[in-house]
Structure 1
Amino acid sequence: MDPVEGCGSPRGRCPWARFSSWLECACVVTFDLELGQAIELVYPQDVKLTEKEKTSICYLSFPDSYSGCLGDTQFSFRLRHSVGRRGSKVREDVYNRDAPPTLQTETAHFFGYVYFRQVKDISVKRGYFQKSLVLVSRLPYTHLFHSLLQIIAPEFFEKLEPCLEAVCNGIDQWPSPVPGLTLNLPVMGVVLQVRIPSKTDKPGGSPVRQTAKENLLPAPTLLPTIHELDLFKCFQSVLVHLQMFWELMLLGEPLVIMAPSPTVSSETVLALVSSISPLKFCCDFRPYFTIHDSEFKEYTTRTQAPPNVVLGVTNPFFIKTFQNWPHVIRLGETKMAGDLPKQVKVKKLSKLKSLDTKPGIYTAFKTFLHKDKILIKRLLKGIQRKRPSEVQSAILRRHLLELTHSFIIPLERYMASLMPLQRSVTPWKTPPQVRPFSQDEFMSTLDHTGPQLTSVLKGDWIGLYRKFFRSPNFDGWYRHRHKEMTQKLESLHLEVICDADLVSWTKDKSEVEIVDLVLKLREKLVKGRRLQLKDEALDKLDSFINSTITSLPGDLQRVLSAR
């Protein structure tokens, strides 16, 4: 059943329930001569944004004056939402259970997807029409939402509010995003066909295929991905430094991207964060960050070490602000050296001083592994042969995926060895616990089952693992895997309880022991439903609980029935 159905409303579901499974709201931000950036419209109108959230959305929805963006510009941002705000817990749990970790809904942040228009307009006092249409969501569906904006924003700037209202009502008719399903999403006479990735997908598998069984008119526009970026376009001026960037992301190092526009800034940050996929990036990241951001002071204080965050900025003022940060990448517009993009060079941090600092990678970081020269040659040759960008991106994505897999597989293999044997799970004892993770024990496995089995890259893999263990990414990965394994043990324990001869066990037990068993089994039943165990096993357990209660004296029956 669709998790948004059955809320008791006249339409048979909650108002805006389907809309809110995709978007939090749509905002229109305009420039007011007296107020500066201001929210002109929020839709649906009953969405409650705090003043802090509204202020953040206003400042993050316009390029700063240094970017000089004329015409139409698209970019993304990410902001921390106010304390106490909750989404639909049930719906998010159902979605997150089956979604890949990298595509799960955000619990503490919103993504903003922006379509900004700035054109000359003599009817306006400042001489320019400046407005942004912003889609706010908890979902990291960058490609889908920017594709959606390309359809609706040009029309919106012509017809304004009625257009936005019609679009939002249309989105409220969409099916909810369910991992593993291919969906048809109609909007303004176009049908977007997308497949929602599932955690069971084979990494690097084939893109969405059109469903032949449906005769749709108009014919759907296929989006090959809902979230992937053009990696090659993002990295073409830093191809020779890919290994460094991958390691910086893996280790969750503090990093600033200084870019010429919010588009370059946001795409580069999102591309970097995705470079360690399928591992989830567990640090904070801001694709576009401004001096007006509510976390500006928190992230720029000099009284403590820089936080584990990746920031994308465009204001040259930040050069002085981030002089104490260990890694700063200054990007310019891509320049060609003959028929190849000019590669940005690594420079000393001490040279990061003036506002007119040249493009460069300002860091003292030394990579643990050697770079893959064969990959770089292949990509550079691809440029000379005019290989399509999507093919170059696929080569790049495959390389990064294999590199991350080579790093993670030994950890996954060791983690699996910490799982108690299935035969140690019995119905009459609490389930055994996952053994503690020992870094030294893990290191001792690397000689025989290390990354050298799947990767040709040489270097200090052990040093890389040791540093990874101190990063938020290891902590996030370990907590996620430990939770999964603990739930697996709970499921196994429930299954053996369901298969046990509980009736025989109760024959010689006192009423106190039987009541205690009933209460414990009820707790297990609730847990089993949450873990989605087989219905027949849970029904069997439920039936046993009910028959056991009816065999007890009336006063105990009433007490247990009332609980």
Structure 2
Amino acid sequence: MSAAVGGKTGMQTRPSLDLPPLERFTDWVRCICVVTFDLELGQVIETIYPGDVELTPQEKLNICYMAFPDSNSGCTQDTTYHFCTRQSGISLSASQEQYCRQAPTFLQINPNFLYGFVHFRQQKNPLLPRGYYQKSLVVLTVLPLFGLFYHVVDTIAAQFFDNGEVAIETGCHHIDHWKLPEPGEILKLPFMGSVIHCRIPLRSDTPQKQLFMDTSSYQSTSGPPIVLPTIHETNFYESLKSSLTHCQMLWELVLLNEPVVVMAPTPSASSSIVQSLCSIIWPLNYASEVRPFFTIHDSDFMEITSKVNRSGILLGLTNPFFSKTLCDWPHILCVGDANGGQMLNAEKLYKKPWDGKTLDSKPGFYSQYKPYLYTDKSLFKKLVNIGSRPDNVQNAILRRHFLELTQCFMIPLERYLSTLIMPLRKQISLFKALPQTKPFCFDDFLQMLQQSGPTLSGGIKGDIEGLYRKFVNCSNFNSWLKSRLEDVDRELRESHLEMLCNTDLSHDIISTRQQVEVVDLVLKLKDKLKDLDGKSNEKRRKLQNQLNSVMRSVDDELKSLLLSNGALREAFEL
């Protein structure tokens, strides 16, 4: 497979491995690419696996540029990071659709975007014209499972740089034999000489549920177990330890979909910080665009950096060029060295208001934002005053704090929504249309909030009413409300289906209804049967029995009317 991406100044694709498609593989990964540096062509896609995967010229171009750190980022030797790039809208597989129905909203698949997990190697080699060997292995997927795919790309890369393309083929062969990505299941995934033990969260899970996977008695010919306690998280504390004093303000900005730029020295730092910011409002889904590592060569560069219609986005950058191009952005977080600085020096990362015209590249938080909430200083003290603690413990403390803050903020909204939903269940009837939820009314919500008294985690105070007023006009709120109303609609439909299956539809009941109601009931039963088409289950059998019961219960005139409709006649089993 070979395709041109550009001329001498652009990217070009060399022949790919001509290998058969992998059916189960594509439920997990779209493809794996090797990108190398060609002295004449620049970054070049050297290999695409499987060989029949179709990538548009623009997708290839974006992958090529994202696969290498910016020239000014100073990366040497090996570095691992991830990016997010636009892709031509694809249809999800049946297992991916099932994944979306079961996974939490913040782990949903967006078919318009691809995640790229990169392992980049740069080594000095005096035999090469530029004096450096540069090559990247890129795993592309629609699944936002960061813990898993960082392990996958690093494991394949370690063997690829020693043994060549056979390592890619082996890795893909193993992935092709994995179980489907099913939330809630303990997955044991054989991979490159070991077995990965992990679990994708369920939508119904308790947030931050501790998962224990006992591997003490584990025996397998596939290799020793590797336990991934979390399959989807980045290390929140390690990413943000230089910005701890600003975390609460950053939480507000992310909650309200404010556009935030992160300027970091490396793509590894950039992508980890941006992804941690995205997750700071979990279990609420961040509903705006996320670009963990972004370059001037991205096809969306003009659209994203334009001053016109600038909307919420989390944007990660490494090239100092952006300090001039984006100096007018309202919120810019600049971090220093590659590890984000020492946590004990975090207070030195000052907030620096500026005029929107000049911006230096010194570490700091550049913003004129006035937070709605007063800063909770107890969190920072809790993290710095206990002495040395493992990063994973600090990470758990930080995540728990913002999880509780987000949950406390959302509880009043959930309570108000429940007042709109509760009456609907009592209104479900066989002979009426499904009841519709009343629209969200902020004034009614505000009245309920004032009666109950707004409180947030840890007794945090401030203009809480103002924060809600701003929140209900942003994308995160609209996404939450849409998702919750979809949940309600699904629950109502399931309740209605149970009623259709189990209500007595004998002659005594049917004879008391008007003809139009009976016809409407038959249409409902037919539609439900159509929804269950192809599924041999108990509900389908019950619905068919109910249809036949209705037919036996009606008089000859109505029976003739029903049978005169060809579509209805096919639904009856006489």
TM over 0.5: yes
Contact 2:263–2:270 at 8 Å: present in 1 too?
yes
Give me the whole-angstrom Cα distance separating, in 1, the residues matched to 2:489 and 2:567: 32
- Other-structure match for 1:481: 484
Q: Which amino acid aligns with 2:411?
A: I
Q: State the 1:106 CA deviation.
A: 2.0
| 2:397 maps to amino acid | I
Tell whether the 8 Å contact from 2:239 to 2:340 is kept in structure 1 after alignment.
no
Residue pair 1:80, 1:108 contacting (<8 A) in 2 also: yes
Q: Report SS of the residue matched to 2:197.
A: strand
2:97 pairs with one of 93, 99, 121: 93
The corresponding residue for 1:317 is 321
1:351 and 1:496, CA in 2 relative to 1: closer, same or farther beyond 3 A? Answer: closer
1:494 Cα deviation after fit = 2.0
CA–CA distance in structure 2, aligned partners of residues 75 and 537 of structure 1 = 48
The more displaced of 391-400 and 93-102 is 93-102
Relative distance call for 1:489 and 1:65 in structure 2 (3 A) is same
The residue number in structure 1 matching 2:17 is: none
Question: How many angstroms apart in 2 are the aligned matches of 1:513 and 1:341?
Answer: 69
Question: Is the CA contact 1:102–1:278 (under 8 Å) kept in the aligned structure 2?
Answer: yes
What's the secondary structure of 1:236's corresponding residue?
helix
**Pairs within 5 Å for 1:330-409:** 330-333=334-337, 340-341=345-346, 343-350=348-355, 353=358, 356-382=360-386, 385-409=387-411
Q: 2:227 aligns with which of 222, 225, 233?
A: 222
Is the contact made by 1:276 and 1:401 (CA closer than 8 Å) also made in structure 2?
yes
Matched-pair contact (CA < 8 Å) for 1:21–1:177 = yes
Measure how far apart 1:548 and its partner are: 5.6
Q: Decide whether the 8 Å contact of 1:494 with 1:528 is kept in 2.
A: no
Distance apart, 1:73 and its partner CA = 0.5
Structure 2 vs 1, CA of residues 228 and 208 (structure 1 numbering), >3 Å: closer, same or farther? farther
Q: Distance in 2 between matches of 1:94 and 1:174?
A: 16
CA-to-partner distance for each residue in 1:436-459, whole Å, 9 max, x for gaps?
111011111113435417541111
Assess if the C-alpha contact under 8 Å between 1:208 and 1:223 holds in 2: no
Letter in 1 for 2:260: L
Is 1:132 the counterpart of 2:139? The answer is no
1:337 offset after TM fit, Å? 7.9
- The answer for the alignment partner of 1:10 in structure 2 is none
> Which 10-residue stretch deviates more, 430-439 or 452-461?
452-461
* Kept after mapping to 1: 8 A contact 2:328/2:356: no
Contact 1:335 1:342 (C-alpha < 8 Å) held by counterparts: no
Who is 1:8 aligned against? none
Match of 2:76 in 1: 70
Go from structure 1 to structure 2 and tell me whether the alpha carbon gap of 1:546 and 1:211 turns closer, same or farther (over 3 Å shift).
farther
**Structure 2 unaligned regions, length at least 5:** 1-19
Q: Distance in 1 between matches of 2:341 and 2:260?
A: 26
Q: Are 2:501 and 1:498 equivalent residues in the alignment?
A: yes
Cα pair distance change 1:117/1:423, threshold 3 Å: same
Cα distance in structure 1, aligned partners of 2:214 and 2:433: 49
What SS is found at the alignment partner of 1:425?
Answer: coil
Q: How does 1:214-293 map to 2 (within 5 A)?
A: 214-217=218-221, 218-293=223-298
* Equivalence for 1:427: 430
Partner of 2:214: 210
Verify the 8 A CA contact 1:60 1:77 in the aligned structure 2. Answer: yes
Q: Distance in 1 between matches of 2:284 and 2:26?
A: 27
Write the letter of the residue equivalent to 2:95. R
8 Å Cα contact 1:410/1:450 also seen in 2: no
Call closer, same or farther: CA 1:116–1:266 in 2, change over 3 Å.
same
* Residues 122, 256 of structure 1: alpha-carbon distance in 2 compared, 3 angstrom cutoff: same
Q: Which residue of structure 2 lines up, in the alignment, with residue 42 of structure 1?
A: 48
Partner of 1:54: 60
Once the two structures are superposed, residues 346-372 of structure 1 have per-residue CA deviations (whole angstroms, 9 ceiling, x without a partner) of: 112227626x53111111001111111
Change (3 A) 1:558 1:374: closer
* CA distance in 2: counterparts of 1:246 and 1:410, whole angstroms: 18
197-206 or 272-281: which moved more? 197-206
Structure 1 residue 344 displacement after superposition: 0.8
> Does the 8 Å CA contact 1:194/1:208 hold for their aligned counterparts?
no
Change in 2 beyond 3 A, CA 1:339/1:250: closer
Alignment partners' CA distance in 2, 1:75 and 1:207: 26
Identify the residue that residue 31 of structure 1 maps to in structure 2: 37
The offset of 1:265, in angstroms, is 0.5
Q: Give the secondary structure class of the aligned counterpart of 2:195.
A: strand
Match of 2:85 in 1: 79
Q: Report the CA distance between 1:429 and its aligned residue.
A: 0.6
**Amino acid in structure 1 at the alignment position of 2:464:** W
CA drift of 1:321 comes to 1.3
Q: Deviations over 1:489-530 (max 9, x none)?
A: 222222222222334255588998766543332212344689
The residue number in structure 2 matching 1:543 is 545
Q: Distance in 2 between matches of 1:423 and 1:536?
A: 25
Percent sequence identity is 43
In structure 2, relative to structure 1, the CA distance for the partners of 1:293 and 1:502 (3 Å cut) is same
The partner residue of 2:114 within 90, 110, 113 is 110
Q: Work out whether residues 23 and 136 of structure 1, in 8 Å CA contact, stay in contact via their aligned partners in 2.
A: yes
Q: Is the 8 A contact 2:505 2:550 kept in 1?
A: no
1:142–1:450: structure 2 CA closer, same or farther, 3 Å change rule? farther
| Secondary structure of 1:275's aligned partner | helix
* 1:182–1:208 Cα contact (<8 Å) kept: no
Post-superposition offset of 1:177: 1.2
Alignment map for 1:147-162 (pairs within 5 Å): 147-162=151-166
Moved more, 395-404 or 449-458: 449-458
Looking at structure 2, the residues matched to 215 and 308 of structure 1 have their Cα atoms a distance apart, in angstroms, of 49
Length-normalised TM-score, structure 2: 0.88
Counterpart secondary structure, 2:385? helix
Distance 1:549 1:237, change over 3 A: same
In structure 2, how many angstroms separate the alpha carbons of the residues matched to 1:151 and 1:25? 16
Given that 1:114 and 1:132 are in contact with CA atoms closer than 8 Å, whether structure 2 keeps it comes out as yes
In structure 2, distance between residues paired with 1:450 and 1:133: 54
Residue 464 in structure 1 maps to residue 467 in structure 2: yes
Q: CA separation of 1:46/1:101 partners in 2, compared to 1, >3 Å: closer, same or farther?
A: same
Q: Deviations over 1:402-458 (max 9, x none)?
A: 000000111111111101242221111111111211101111111343541754111
Instruction: Provide closer, same or farther for how the CA distance between residues 455 and 418 of structure 1 changes in structure 2, counting only shifts above 3 A.
Output: farther
Superposition deviation, residue 211 in structure 1: 5.3
Q: Does 1:449 align with 2:455?
A: no
Q: Which letter maps to 1:160?
A: G
TM-fit CA distance, 1:92: 2.4
Matched to 2:425, the amino acid is Q
What is the Cα deviation at residue 104 of structure 1?
A: 1.7
Amino acid aligned to 2:480: W
Counterpart-to-counterpart distance in 2, 1:546 and 1:41? 60
- What one-letter code is carried by the residue in structure 2 that aligns with 1:459? G
Cα distance in 2 for residues equivalent to 1:213 and 1:431:
52
Residue identity matched to 2:238: K
**What is the rounded CA distance, in whole Å, between the counterparts of 2:50 and 2:462 in structure 1?**
54
What is the deviation of 1:208? 4.0
Higher mean C-alpha deviation, range 191-200 or range 467-476:
191-200
- Which structure 1 segments of 5+ residues have no match? 1-13
1:467 shift after superposition: 0.5
Do the aligned residues in 2 keep the contact of 1:19 with 1:171 (CA within 8 Å)? yes
CA apart distance, 1:547: 6.2
Query: What secondary structure does 1:403 align onto?
Result: helix
**Aligned-CA RMSD value:** 2.6
TM-score norm. by structure 1 comes to: 0.90
Distance 1:212 1:197, change over 3 A: farther
Q: Secondary structure at the match of 1:347?
A: coil
Residues 137-164 of structure 1: CA distance to partner in whole angstroms, max 9, x if unpaired?
Answer: 1111111111122222011012221211
CA contact (8 A) 2:405 2:456 kept: no
